[in-house]
Amino acid sequence: MNGDKAMARAVCENIVAGARNRGGNDSDNTGNPDILVCPPFTLLSTVDSIIRDSACQLGAQDMAANSNGAFTGQVSSTMLLDCGCSHVILGHSERRTLCGESDQMVADKAGRAVADGLIAIVCVGETRAERESGATGQVVQRQIQTVIDTVGIEQFKDIVIAYEPVWAIGTGLSATPEQARQVHQLIRRQLARHDAGIAEGCRILYGGSMKPDNAGELLAKPDIDGGLIGGASLKAEDFLGICFGGLTQTKSQTQ
């Protein structure tokens, strides 16, 4: 929940220009990282007008599980598509902890998103207490299994998973590259038990305080396919530093 039109315009114009100057091509993004910008709902149209003809894509930070109806204050997948979105973030740790979203609620939203043509970025992750008690694997697998049971493994062709250790968000802490790799590997193995092809093709992003100075080491690890960036995305130069300093041509980047 950051920014206004002026801030969004300045940041996104710098991202578009920086991506173009560093190798991003408006018409052909082959060999460059995929860049996704996910502003607050009120700024979707502003950002869309800036990035529409660039290599960047547009996503939202949340959506309802219903397509329309008497749900005051909610935003639907069809509304997001109308704003130009191709992606939506679901189940972010702040939504789960501050808004009480359950595993099933997140899974229902994911089902609606992919059914209506959006790519769902489903966030999973453990709290500090859960990590210290050795429950990381149990928590993450439970969150993902609920989505699998609800939408079916075949729908994961349109789902991205973002692993965000809750204890590393906004704290300045970050999982070590090896800690992150272990969880990403666990996630891919879980998917592979249902469908090896889906597991191989599914993008798994890391979302725990990724910054320009640690992105390269994190993204060099197997099974870490990109980043879900928080604070570092508020400064275009930091965000671009992660995109083009840390990512190989096969990896993706989400703001």
Q: So which residues are the catalytic ones?
A: 92, 164
The answer to whether 162 and 207 have CB atoms below 8 angstroms apart is yes
238: Cα separation from own chain's centroid:
17
What's the rounded Cα separation, in Å, for the pair 11 and 117?
27
198: Cα separation from own chain's centroid:
18
Identify the DSSP state of 72. T
The answer to whether 228 and 254 have CB atoms below 8 angstroms apart is yes
DSSP string for 201-246: H--EEE-SS--HHHHHHHHTSTT--EEE-SGGGGSHHHHHHHHHHH
No. of helices (H) and no. of strands (E), the chain: 11, 8
Instruction: Report residue 235 as tokens.
Output: 């400064």
